Amino acid sequence: MLNRLLVLLLLPLAFSAAADAQVYEFTLANGFKLVVQEDHRSPVVVSQVWYRAGSIDEVSGTTGVAHVLEHMMFKGTGKVPAGQFSRIVAAAGGRENAFTSRDYTVYFQQLEKSRLELAMKLEADRMANLRLTDKEFAKEIQVVMEERRWRTDDKPQAQVGEQFMSTAFQSHPYARPVIGWMNDLEHMTASDARAWYQGWYAPNNATLVVVGDVDPKQVFRLAQKYFGPLKARKLPIRKPQAEPEQKGERRVTVKAPAKLPYLIMGYPAPTLQNPDTDWEPYAMEILAGVLDGNAASRLNRNLVRRDRLAVDISAGYDLISRGPSMFTFDGTPSEGSTVADLENAIRGEIENLKVNGITEEELQRVKAQVIAADVYQRDSMFYQAMQIGQMESTGLSWRALDEYPKRLQAVTTEQVLAVARKYLDDDKLTVATLDPQPMDENAPKHKEMPHVH
């Protein structure tokens, strides 16, 4: 109890320090957005370019193209030969990489502060001048297919996750894997990647986030110098993509060589639309913490340690995304238990919560835990930039970040009970299970992640 109270007493001080951080926003004439946050604790800068283009924007037949284009962005321009981008950043003492998600694609560098101009020069160059040749594409698409084999085809639990999403979502693009279906990758062409690049990679569809030991006015001048001359383009029309209401339980079973069974359960859940007035997403965040926050959380305490039904179990929820969210459970039954045993036990925990709610002690513990984790993560420049970029790229604003702890602190036990009863509805449930099959010890295995970039 003393430790929990100590954390609660420290939180206002930590958030006061975070709130004092100066954030500046600029928008260039071509629609390019720049957000700069000063952090003068060390002579380092994080630079991230966020394109509001992810797998949610893909169409059937070209799934995975957003991720493929991410790979191709390292294949050179007229000024930077193929393969040199990463070497140039490394020679400057920095590190860089990129990732693609359902909602956006991000390219980032972390450098000594005097080298920020180099990062911005390189990013502006490949935003407008990428050389996407058939030869380089033919090589890189093989790398992406190997990555798919390594990430999904060779991993039974990943296969279950993929089938879970394609079952939970019937029409929304979230049904499709970010890395793409193998058949689409096998038939993808350089023209598909060029069309994606020409459609979405424009200054008016991008946000540059810079966090570090910088002068915001100087960063703005550099953005004007390198990104300002780039021409805005008309973006493809984004049509509404609402998922039809689910009207009954859905189930899917994956049979794959594996040692242990596996279970995923999920319910459609709301996302944050208006940070000032929405309360349900914050209550859902607290609900996830009550069920799976630490060793004292209900699922771990009751199903892993007390009843020994599961080797591991977790609950998860994302309140920020461009599309619909899911409140999920996943776990591995212990020896002697089945996925049916584990599912029934999880359902029992849900029903108990929906009948009896949560205690005030649980509520305060989870608030302290969730908010403290956010405070500690904000100590990282990279995480600060990630928070800003995610908010901006999902249609929200970085200004809402300071509201997060306040809104969480305002959640009541009654609100947590209300969202549990409203959203953890059996008629909206999707269940995916792994049915382990005998393993072939002689089957080829991809032991290491294939080289990327």
**Burial environment of residue 286 by CB neighbours within 10 A (0 to 12, 13 to 18, 19 or more):** buried
Condensed to tens digits (0 to 9), the pLDDT of residues 221-234 reads 999 999 999 999 99
Q: What percent of the chain has pLDDT over 90?
A: 86
| pLDDT tens sequence across 327-339 | 999 999 999 999 9
- pLDDT band of residue 296 (cuts 50, 70, 90) is confident
Q: Tokens for 319?
A: 């309140």
- 345 pLDDT band, cuts 50/70/90, is very high
Q: Which two tokens stand for residue 265?
A: 């359960």
Query: Which residues are annotated as catalytic?
Result: 70
Q: Name the band, by pLDDT with cuts 50, 70 and 90, for residue 161.
A: very high
What is the DSSP pairing of strand 44-51 with strand 250-257? Answer: unpaired
pLDDT, tens digit (0-9, with 9 covering 90-100), for 189-228: 999 999 999 999 999 999 999 999 999 999 999 999 999 9
Closest CA to 28 of 214, 217, 220, 235: 220
Mean pLDDT within 12-39: 77
Q: How far apart are CA 27 and CA 228, in angstroms?
A: 10
Confidence of residue 375 (pLDDT cuts 50, 70, 90): confident
Q: In what order do the strands lie in the sheet with 33-38?
A: 23-27, 33-38, 206-212, 44-51, 105-112, 95-100
